[in-house]
Amino acid sequence: METQIQSITVDQDSVKSILNVFFKTIVRSLTFPVRIFPDITMPDEKKENLLINSSWDTGASSTHITKSAALKLGLITRKEFSLCNKKGFNLDSKIVPVTLLFPDKRVQLVGAYIADDFPDADLIIGMDIINTGNFQYRVKNGKSVLSIARALNDIEKPEYSKDHHPDLISCEIDRFGCFQMKVEYPGIVDRLIIPVIISSFHIPIYQPGKEQIKVNCIIDTGAPISLITSRLAEKLNLTRIDGKDQVIKSGTAKDGDISVIFCQFMEYYDIEIVVQVKDDDHPDYDFILGMDLISSGSLGIINFNNQTTLLLTLSSNT
């Protein structure tokens, strides 16, 4: 796959290192290369290692490495690799210790879960690594920029709060008509979940026989497009549309179909969103806010004083 990276720079002072990844265009995947070593010692580039693509995924609680990369590094055996593709055998629960060397020369030790191969990356960076620092995604001059700030001293894996419900949510519309949301959680969280109201019609304009439902939404930079569960699509009795021309088609939207929903954040900002229905009902959320929406504005994750704060901006042109 052709690289989407324009340049990678590092800003460093006596306290922190900021890794800046500049992409060539507005991207739907936050992917850039890291070097990975098959142990938990300090990395030595003379040792066996791999330069692989890492995808930074706020929808993943944990970090995952693909089976093929794990095999190349000797983290799993060829027998395990062969068996894991057979029915009834998998390595989903196996965790392997790896050392990551990022472009800013910072080192991260992590236990990575073995996962099936992904199309564009061999390493999925989850919230267990993202939450050891601060994270910012924004669009500047028509191009995506990802900035990751981390303390120079070693950071231990955070203790996660079991409560994903926000303590405080504040919203406003700025002078450019953009929607801005600030969400404070009761501790460090491994999922960015916020409550929203979903409907099949513009929420301020009530239509008899139509429902509006309060559901949980997860902010997911690993999702190129926004998704809703088939469970929610059925409750809303959503109609299918043509994905290219958005012409209404007959029948109720099911797995793989494209549809349209209207979303309201804390009684603010009723926006129309084109979504895909996914037949994968999750117990904790029904709506995945993906990079198609995130790239219309910006996303910030701040971890300070044992608390996660989410900053989300969506363009008025969404």
Q: Is 164 left (phi over 0), alpha (psi -120 to 50) or beta?
A: alpha
Buried b / exposed e across 85-110, counting CB within 10 Å, b at 16+?
A: eeeeeebeebebebbbbbbbebebeb
User: In the chain, how long is the greatest CA-to-CA distance?
Assistant: 69
Tokens of 141: 């001059």
The pLDDT tens digits along the chain (318 residues) read: 456 899 999 998 777 889 999 999 999 999 999 999 887 665 565 667 889 999 999 999 999 999 889 888 888 777 776 766 655 556 666 888 888 888 888 888 888 988 888 888 999 999 999 988 899 999 999 999 999 998 766 556 667 777 778 888 888 877 777 788 999 999 999 999 999 989 887 655 455 555 688 999 999 999 999 999 988 988 888 888 765 555 455 556 778 888 888 888 866 667 888 899 998 778 889 999 999 999 999 999 999 888 999 999 987 555
Q: Which domains does the chain have, with CATH numbers?
A: 5-151 (2.40.70.10), 168-314 (2.40.70.10)
The predicted structure's pLDDT at residue 1 = 47
The predicted structure's pLDDT at residue 148 = 94
Residue (of 199, 192, 247) closest to 220 by Cα position: 192
Tokens of 53: 């693509």
The predicted structure's pLDDT at residue 183 = 94
